[in-house]
Amino acid sequence: MNETETEDTRILIVEDEEKIAALLRDYLQKDGYQTRWLERGDDVEACVKEWQPEAILLDVMLPGKDGMTVCRELRNYSNIPILMLTARVEEIDRLLGLEFGADDYICKPFSPREVLARLKAVLRRSRNQLTGNVSALKKPLVILNEQRLEIHCHNRTLELTSIEFQLLKTLVTEPGRIWSRQQLMDRIYPDNRVVSDRTIDSHVKKMRKKLADAFPTANLVQSVYGVGYRYEEPEI
């Protein structure tokens, strides 16, 4: 996303700590974004309908109405990208749950550079989804062959186990989405068998090794500390 693409992009910052809000506002404006700042959660809906921002940086703890409630209510009528800001690591699983529908989260304290990178990532995914033609924008690095349980990656064919294939298929289907270990277990083991987090980690480790053999310069399956995994293709 270049400067021309950001100059008309409206970002709503909802944060009751003035210093944090000012830091975010200054950093985003420097990169060419238009911004508005709200301190209260109960002011968000009216602003979204009137100003129509393209993404929201939404704090969890807000006066008037908390960020999780705001996120859930927005999802009743809008798919606007929402990045939650939280200082409490124990809230992350709830933030990522389908119940709230957040696109990503950022833990405090954070660097403005990280916020900007994560914001650009969710905006890019959102715009790709709106076009309905992601594959036409760039050729994916990983192509799945479900009949053979194979993947084609960087001009090589890799064989995966059934579990590894289903795991990778889940991640690849929604690039950038953070999947908790529990969500991945529910997808891979629909019979609700009892498995541990370490089982998922073991499958991911083996799958990563195979991907690294084919494409050593790309970290395709990324760990999200304390939460789970996501799939990201590098800009090449």
Domains of the chain: residue spans and CATH: 3-131 (3.40.50.2300), 138-231 (1.10.10.10)
Average pLDDT, the chain: 82
Residue 120's nearest CA partner among 81, 150, 152, 177 is 81
Tens of pLDDT, residues 196-207: 778 889 999 999
What letter represents residue 139's amino acid? K
Is the model's pLDDT at 34 over the cut of 90? yes
The pLDDT value recorded for residue 175 is: 81
CA atoms within 13 A on the CB side of 100: 22
142 pLDDT more than 60? yes
Lowest mean pLDDT among 31-40, 59-68, 194-203: 194-203
Count of C-beta atoms within a 10 Å radius of residue 49: 10
Does residue 232 or residue 30 have the better pLDDT? 30
Q: Is the pTM of this model over 0.85?
A: no
Are 109 and 135 spatial neighbours (Cβ–Cβ below 8 Å)?
Answer: no
